Amino acid sequence: MKRLHVVLLAALCVLLLAGCGAKDEEAVPDVIFRYADNQPEGYPTTVAAEYFAQLVEERTDGKVCIRVFSDGVLGDEVSVFEQMQFGGVDMGRISTGTLAQFVPEAEILQLPYLFQDSAHMWRVLDGEIGDELLGDIQSAGAVGLSWFDAGARNFYTTSPVHTLEDLSGMRIRVQESTFMSRMIRLWGATPMQIPYGGVYSALQTDQIDGAENNWPSYESSGHFEAAPYYLLDGHSRLPEVQVISSIALDKLAALDEGYVDILRQCAQECAVYERELWQARETESEELVRGYGCVVTRLSAAEREKFRQAIQPMYDSYSEETRALIERIRES
């Protein structure tokens, strides 16, 4: 049994090295990090992660290798972050919803209508407030490196929705999140916490009347086939974050402090690249969905204000300190 364990370990090392482009003894890396993403290959976040790995390998002369594991191979996001806390996974791309479960300060990023538009969000996240929020991640045993785009989230349903009243009484799928469920209830709908993989079936079998997500997810999941009405309300803009385990970062620093600087710079560069990929993918997904014949409706300004007013209790529930941070974001 012990011999089999050694053989399997040796095989794993060979695979890891192969994935890092090792060609000779001089190219053998000093460290190999495992990077987790639950999205499939070819998705903007996974493509950007591969670019990140490439940049790091090139700038450390092959001494730092990052292996990207896509499609949830290393577990769901919650599991991945928990593994990061004890060094089981080294790096990854984490959604805001998952991050908020470990870093309470990040919860406000999920607030509906927090950002005016995409430009406003990036002014905030690329500035002092964004750096502060990245810093808060250290309390959870990881280090924030950069912000990724995940677009605006909108509603899609099996029957038309034009007003807040139309949404009332509908069964809307949300992530397994108390925060998201409360948001849906304040809009008069019934939240249904269903794993993402079960949404298509739930729409087809009339277990739910709709869900909410961004253009690429709506298109790539095929949900548009079962819920052909898409309401452009833009209730949330949820950035995502690249993180590294504190244990992994300490290991990197012990090898060479210069590697840490390289890693951080590459993370910033690949974040810019991911945003470009995201914008292109959004456009492509929207065109595909419209071409299929889905009905796309833009929420009117008057109705959008009704949606805003309905979720005000969520804003009012925060402490004075948190409300001050929210005000800083709105004024940025």
Sign of CA dihedral 66, 71, 74, 76: positive
Cα distance between residue 83 and residue 162, in whole Å? 43
Per-residue model confidence (pLDDT) at position 40: 86
- Written out in words, the top-level CATH class of the domain with range 21-149+238-282 is alpha beta
Going from the C-alpha of 261 to that of each of 75, 93, 129, 214, the distances in angstroms are 29, 19, 21, 33
For residue 326 the two structure tokens come to 């929210």
What pLDDT, on a 0 to 100 scale, did the predictor assign at position 26? Answer: 60
| Mean pLDDT in order along the chain per 10 residues (332 residues) | 36 47 66 94 95 98 97 91 96 93 93 95 96 96 97 96 96 90 97 90 97 94 96 94 98 97 98 97 96 95 95 96 96 93
Report the topology of domain 152-237+285-331: D-Maltodextrin-Binding Protein; domain 2 (3.40.190)
**Nearby residues of 95 by Cβ (< 8 Å), 6 or more positions away:** 77, 150, 238, 240
Residue 131 in 3-state DSSP?
helix
Q: Which long-range contacts (CB under 8 A, 24 or more apart) does 51-58 make?
A: 51/270, 51/273, 52/242, 52/266, 52/267, 52/269, 52/270, 55/266, 55/269, 55/270, 56/262, 56/263, 56/266, 57/20, 57/21, 57/29
Residues in the chain: 332
| SS3 per-residue string spanning 265-292 | HHHHHHHHHHHHHHHHHHHHHHHHHHHH
Burial class (CB in 10 A: 0-12, 13-18, 19+), 137: buried
- Pairing mode of beta strands 142-148, 240-245: antiparallel
Q: Are strands 229-237 and 152-157 parallel, antiparallel or unpaired?
A: antiparallel
- CA end-to-end span of the chain: 61
Beta bridge partners of 193: 174
Q: What's the confidence (pLDDT) of residue 11?
A: 40
**Rounded to whole angstroms, how far apart are CA atoms 260 and 254?**
10
pLDDT of the residue at 196: 84
Positions of CATH 3.40.190.170 in the chain: 21-149+238-282, 152-237+285-331
Find the radius of gyration of the CA atoms of the chain: 21
pTM: 0.86
A 10 A CB-CB count for 286 gives 18
